[in-house]
Amino acid sequence: MKIEYLGHSCFKLTESTGTSIVCDPYDSSVGYDFPEVQAEAVTVSHGHYDHNNVKAVKGCKTVIDGEGSYSLPGVEIDAIKSYHDENGGSDRGGNLIFKFRMDGIDVCHLGDLGEECSSALIDQLLPVNVLLIPVGGNYTIDAEMAKEYVDRIMPDVVIPMHFRQKGCKLDIGKVDEFIDLFDEDCIAESEEDELDLMRSDLNGDTKIVVLRRQ
């Protein structure tokens, strides 16, 4: 499978036979333009402008924005209810966490998760091979809470998202605040925006992979 980072909290996931899904497309209000991208399906964690720009994804036939289980060719999807804040959604509403099973790999996109780490939520998410996790704080969990999620989920690959980068207008922290919490030998910073993975690449050791929007 291929994971492409399109910026902010948006990724394109492509299964080996070609099925593609875009997660949380944003609009230019974040501070930079959304790239041209095509996919069969789009998942939306919640209805904020920096996560729900569905019309920007060309060729989209399926939009998944509700809790439940879904199937696409070669891909199984679970949308799990969570909260955008620490107060049961009373501040910023609900958030959907999406789990994707493709090419034998379990990928989890946490959306704009804002609630504290709990055993009940962790049990719903496991197992996770690849964790796409917000780290910028303010509107989501911050770097330290993201580290707690990583420690309890123990994924093979962690890809941070929803952090401040060049051009971003949102009041969120930089990715450095998150990666500084880990040992250097488990950090892989890349100048690339994509990662190709096979099940055989996963060895049980957690690696933090920082992808860069192109």
Residue pair 102/17 in contact (Cβ under 8 Å)? The answer is: no
How far is it, in rounded angstroms, from Cα 112 to Cα 91? 13
Residue 51 has pLDDT above 90, yes or no: no
| Residue 200: strand pairing partners | none
Query: What was the pLDDT predicted at 214?
Result: 76
Segment 9-25 mean pLDDT: 97
What pLDDT score was predicted for residue 90? 72
Burial of 114 (0-12, 13-18, 19+ CB in 10 A): buried
Angstrom distance (rounded) from CA 9 to CA 165: 12
Q: Given a cut of 90, is residue 41 above it in pLDDT?
A: yes
Name 23's bridge partners. 11, 43
**Residue whose entry in the numeric block shows the structure tokens 């496991």:** 126
Closest CA to 120 of 140, 97, 143, 92: 97
Helical segments of the chain, H only: 119-125, 143-153, 176-179
Write out pLDDT tens, residues 105-161: 999 999 999 999 999 999 999 999 999 999 999 889 999 999 999 999 999 999 999
pTM for the full predicted model: 0.96
> What domains does the chain contain, in order, with CATH numbers?
2-210 (3.60.15.10)
DSSP 69-124: EEEETTEEEEEEEEESSSSTTTTT-EEEEEEEEETTEEEEE-TT--SPP-HHHHHH
Token couple for 107: 């990928």
DSSP label at 50? T
The pLDDT-based confidence of 50 (bands split at 50, 70, 90) is: confident
Question: How does pLDDT run across 77-115, given as a tens digit for each residue?
Answer: 999 999 887 877 777 778 999 999 999 999 999 999 999
